[in-house]
Structure 1
Amino acid sequence: MKKNKVLIIITVILLIGAAALLAYDRLGFGKKEAAGEEQSIDDVLKVTVDMGEIATNLLDNRYVKISFMIEADSKDAKEELEKRKFQVQNIIITELSDMKAPELEGKEGKQAFEEAVKKRVNEIMQEGEVVKVYITSYIIS
């Protein structure tokens, strides 16, 4: 009698464990891209928003004309970015208005600016987040 109860308990535990593993796998938990595996460009474009061209003055009275593409982490986040486009453009303009031209020069300057925009935009996002900000054109005069 005791052996039957122990076998039943072990069987139930194994079945619960198998069901949990199956649910974990089916729901996609823990699935990350393999190291070094890149998304296809089509996948990137599905979650990317063109912010258009922005022209504004810098802190040192120079003028910048700059364009951006912003990549989100999901289609829902992309939709939110499209709705918040005016807010994102405002963030970009206010960030630029507090910078001098030399701060945007070189690779490091542009990357630092992209990261600053990404951080500020993520602060207002509710449906996901920004993965990457791309400067697609840039002119300072």
Structure 2
Amino acid sequence: MENEQKAPKNKLMTIMLVLLAVILLAGTIAVVIILRSTGGDAAKEEPSIDEVLESSVDIPEMTTNLASDDFIRISFKIQTNDPDAMEELTKRDFQAKDLIIQKLSEMTADELKGEAGKQKLTETLKTNLNSIMQDGTVEAVYITSYIIQ
């Protein structure tokens, strides 16, 4: 009688172990497939230099006062996410220049010195330019010339 009771328990345990193994195998396969498919997309997301240039706007050299009574002569290249966004930013160049002048007039020459100061300026400009964009986004702001007098 004891053998008859142990047999169903052993059978149930075997079935549970097989099901657990199948679930673990299916989960492992799913994780591998997901990781491989997202890994391939990451390489495709990085735009080529030609794509960057096709979607970038040049802001010509501007001269304005800083908060520290110094002058700055500066120009930018603004990278957008696609050519349509570049077109929008080209039309909004007067707004972009206004934002740049406003932000620069709040900064001192000391705040703009060094890599950290320039990085702060470009990040601030990127955020503020994105606030006026409707159809696209600003991906990066590059300083192409810079002189403080």
Query: How does the TM-score come out when normalised to structure 1?
Result: 0.74
C-alpha displacement of 1:39:
2.2
AA aligned to 2:55 is V
Structure 1: give runs of 5+ residues left out of the alignment. 1-29
Count of residue pairs the alignment pairs up:
112
2:130 pairs, out of 122, 132, 136, with 122
Aligned identity (percent) is 50
Q: Which residue of 1 aligns with 2:68?
A: 60
Q: Distance in 1 between matches of 2:132 and 2:117?
A: 24
Q: Which residue of 2 aligns with 1:71?
A: 79
Q: Which residue of 2 aligns with 1:131?
A: 139
AA aligned to 1:134 is Y
1:33 to 1:138, Cα distance in 2 relative to 1, 3 A = farther
Q: Which residue of 2 aligns with 1:96?
A: 104
Q: Distance in 2 between matches of 1:111 and 1:93?
A: 17
C-alpha displacement of 1:137:
0.4
If each structure's helix is expressed as a fraction of its own residues, which one has the higher value? Answer: 2
1:84 to 1:31, Cα distance in 2 relative to 1, 3 A = farther
Q: Deviations over 1:57-113 (max 9, x none)?
A: 100100000000000001111000000001000000000001100111101100000
Structure 2: give runs of 5+ residues left out of the alignment. 1-37
